[in-house]
């Protein structure tokens, strides 16, 4: 799941990088026209070209990172390298599905603990079985039989059937088996104690893991709200500065700075969404919900 989220994250980062290339290319082409008309200094035109080249370099890097994330996803799901992966979701939609993650602690449901508890129960029962082998066993038995006593078999003749009944008690007392039973009983008792110790250790380890992942998840929620608010503010400022630029009250460099701020806000928000989803998955794993 983390590999899937990482692939979605890199895919959306690639989309943002493509938008940046389109925007810087438009500025560069507009600046080229102004430079040819002599209304733009060469230094300012070179800055626009530098921005465009940097955006293209960032786009190439984003493409490589997306390809690597897809390869990792294929590896994690056991798909051959030549196989094709189609990402049909986005981080924002997944965030809406997971933003109400319940913080109910269920450490006891971790499969590792359940497995250890099952092994403990088996060893306790086996120890008890070995213990009972040392105890004397008294058995009661009986028989009720009717015998046909006649020279010629005639089951319907009277006076030819005679009862043959008895009751008895049987006492089995273990004497000596080379201490095999005692040694086995002790062995299973030790195994059971190891299981108890492992259960306590696992509960302590997973308890720490739950507390740690809970703190991280809560912090990621705060970071997500902050970056979301910053993104909304950056979008609002950009709309205002575009209007001011069209009216000629601010320079192109001022508008570019505002757009860079929006770009950073978009990347920060996307990163926060990804980190929140990863934190959610790790929390669910810690409490045994996965």
Domain boundary among 118, 152, 173: 173
Q: Within this chain, do residues 164 and 22 fall inside the same structural domain, yes or no?
A: no
Q: Within this chain, do residues 116 and 231 fall inside the same structural domain, yes or no?
A: yes
Q: Is the pTM of this model over 0.85?
A: no
Q: Is residue 129 part of a domain?
A: yes
Q: Within this chain, do residues 50 and 166 fall inside the same structural domain, yes or no?
A: no
Q: Is residue 95 part of a domain?
A: no
Residue in 207, 3, 211, 4 with CA at minimum distance from that of residue 112: 207
Other CB atoms within 10 Å distance of the CB of residue 188: 20
Q: What pLDDT is attached to residue 173?
A: 74
Q: Within this chain, do residues 121 and 140 fall inside the same structural domain, yes or no?
A: no
Residue 177 has pLDDT above 70, yes or no: no
Q: Within this chain, do residues 228 and 112 fall inside the same structural domain, yes or no?
A: yes
Residue 67 has pLDDT above 80, yes or no: yes
Residue 209 has pLDDT above 80, yes or no: yes
Q: How high is the mean pLDDT of the chain?
A: 86
| Digit-coded pLDDT (tens) for 213-251 | 889 988 998 999 999 999 999 999 989 988 888 888 888
Q: Within this chain, do residues 123 and 242 fall inside the same structural domain, yes or no?
A: yes
Least confident of 36-40, 62-66, 232-236: 36-40
Residue 20 has pLDDT above 60, yes or no: yes
Give me the sign of the Cα torsion angle 181, 182, 186, 189.
positive
Question: From CA 107, how far away is CA 275, in angstroms rounded?
Answer: 23
Higher pLDDT, 289 or 265: 265
CATH of the domain at 107: 1.20.1600.10
Q: Is residue 286 part of a domain?
A: yes
Q: What Å distances lie between residue 156 and 7, 149, 150, 159, 163, CA to CA?
A: 91, 12, 11, 9, 16
Q: Within this chain, do residues 110 and 42 fall inside the same structural domain, yes or no?
A: no
| Digit-coded pLDDT (tens) for 75-126 | 998 888 888 888 888 887 787 777 665 555 567 778 888 999 999 999 999 9
Q: Is residue 71 part of a domain?
A: yes
Q: What pLDDT is attached to residue 105?
A: 59
Q: What are phi and psi of 46, to 5 degrees?
A: -65, -35
Q: Is residue 97 part of a domain?
A: no
Residue 129 has pLDDT above 60, yes or no: yes
Q: Within this chain, do residues 129 and 254 fall inside the same structural domain, yes or no?
A: yes
Q: Is residue 233 part of a domain?
A: yes
Q: 149 is in which domain, residue-wise?
A: 136-173
Q: What pLDDT is attached to residue 68?
A: 93
Q: Is residue 94 part of a domain?
A: no
Domain boundary among 28, 57, 89: 89
Q: Within this chain, do residues 205 and 240 fall inside the same structural domain, yes or no?
A: yes
* In the block, residue with structure tokens 């800055």: 47
Q: What pLDDT is attached to residue 144?
A: 87
Counting the structural domains of the chain, the total is 3
Q: Within this chain, do residues 31 and 109 fall inside the same structural domain, yes or no?
A: no
Q: Within this chain, do residues 237 and 107 fall inside the same structural domain, yes or no?
A: yes
Q: What pLDDT is attached to residue 202?
A: 92
Q: What pLDDT is attached to residue 200?
A: 93
Q: Within this chain, do residues 155 and 198 fall inside the same structural domain, yes or no?
A: no
Q: Is residue 187 part of a domain?
A: yes
């Amino acid at each position: 799941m983390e590999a899937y989220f990482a692939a979605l994250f890199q895919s959306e980062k690639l989309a943002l990088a493509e938008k940046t290339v389109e925007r810087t290319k438009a500025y560069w082409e507009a600046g080229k026209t102004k430079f040819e008309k002599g209304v733009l200094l060469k230094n300012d035109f070179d800055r626009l070209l530098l921005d465009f080249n940097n955006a293209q370099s960032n786009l190439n890097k984003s493409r490589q990172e997306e390809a690597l994330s897809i390869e990792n996803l294929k590896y994690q799901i056991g798909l051959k390298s030549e196989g094709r992966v189609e990402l049909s979701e986005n981080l924002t939609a997944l965030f809406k599905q997971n933003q109400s993650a319940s913080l109910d602690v269920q450490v006891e449901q971790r499969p590792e603990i359940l497995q250890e508890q099952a092994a403990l129960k088996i060893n306790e029962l086996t120890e008890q079985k070995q213990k009972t082998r040392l105890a004397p066993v008294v058995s009661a038995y009986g028989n009720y039989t009717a015998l046909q006593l006649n020279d010629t078999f005639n089951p319907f003749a009277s006076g030819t059937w005679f009862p043959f009944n008895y009751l008895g008690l049987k006492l089995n007392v273990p004497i000596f088996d080379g201490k095999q039973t005692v040694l086995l009983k002790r062995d299973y008792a030790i195994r059971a104690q190891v299981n108890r110790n492992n259960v306590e250790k696992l509960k302590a380890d997973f308890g720490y893991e739950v507390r740690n992942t809970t703190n991280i998840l809560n912090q990621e929620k705060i970071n997500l709200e902050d970056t979301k608010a910053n993104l909304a503010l950056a979008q609002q400022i950009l709309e205002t500065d575009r209007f001011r630029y069209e009216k000629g009250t601010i320079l192109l460099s001022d508008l570019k700075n505002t757009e860079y701020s929006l770009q950073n806000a978009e990347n920060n928000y996307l990163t926060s969404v990804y980190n929140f989803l990863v934190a959610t998955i790790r929390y669910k794993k810690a409490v045994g919900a996965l």
